[in-house]
Amino acid sequence: MSRKKKAKIENEPWNKDKAVGQMAPFVPEQCALIRTLLAAENKIRDLALFNTAIDTMLRASDLLPLRVIDVTDHNGDVVHEFTIRQKKTGAGHVVALSPETRNAIADWLLISEKNKDPEAFLWTSIGNRKTGRHLTREQYANLVKKWSSLARVDPRRHSTHSMRRTKSAAIYDKTQNLAACQHLLGHKSIGSTAHYLGVDQRKALDLAKRIKI
């Protein structure tokens, strides 16, 4: 396989031309349980990654390659918001971090050997697996399965897309504001957001449950 063709394949979305079922988002109570257990187990990196994934709603392809310089200012403090260029669309996208997430990232940077290098990847392996490279999509997916188990939910119903959908689903449920969710997810069209959140599907299922014949 030529280098050019190989690069094209690697840059294509993993779900291109595939029929992928909707993965369930985590609900607030499940997120709280996961955070509590990760903190109790002193999983500092995992807690920071979990919080960042929930807050930013980024695709794995944009979340995993984040570098220290992306989330810190010139003083090394974790920022309130930052801009990334989405790998899938090429468009710039601004995301925000909550105080809880900023604290979690700061805690991770304090114990990470890479914290002195602004260009270092933010999400790296720990222990004997240190490589300097960022976590792979497979490693991230395995972490999500573990977090599902912590929350006592079916890991088969949750994936990395659950992390992206969790906060946007909660925002839609509370506000019914699809336009806001579209902006937060970085979608080009509001139709894509409705499909991604399963809005039309949920409305159809609610109707099916109410109508009797």
Q: No. of H helices and E strands in the chain?
A: 11, 2
The CATH number assigned to the domain holding 158 equals 1.10.443.10
Nearest alpha-carbon partner for 62 in 201, 185, 199, 198:
185
Burial of 48 (0-12, 13-18, 19+ CB in 10 A): buried
65 falls within a domain: yes
pLDDT at 3: 55
Nearest alpha-carbon partner for 196 in 176, 174, 178, 175:
178
Q: What is the identity of the amino acid at 14?
A: W
10 falls within a domain: no
Higher per-residue confidence, 197 vs 67: 67
134-153 pLDDT tens trace: 999 999 999 999 999 999 99
First-to-final CA distance of the chain: 58
> Cα–Cα distance between 83 and 30 in angstroms, integer?
28
- Looking at mean pLDDT, say which of 14-23, 111-120, 149-158 comes out highest: 149-158
2 falls within a domain: no
pTM for the predicted model, two decimal places = 0.79
**How many domains, in total, are found in the chain?**
1
Q: What three-state secondary structure class fits 146? A: helix
99 falls within a domain: yes
86-105 pLDDT tens trace: 888 888 889 999 999 999 99
Q: What mean pLDDT do residues 153-182 have?
A: 88
Structural domain span for residue 119: 23-202
pLDDT at 115: 57
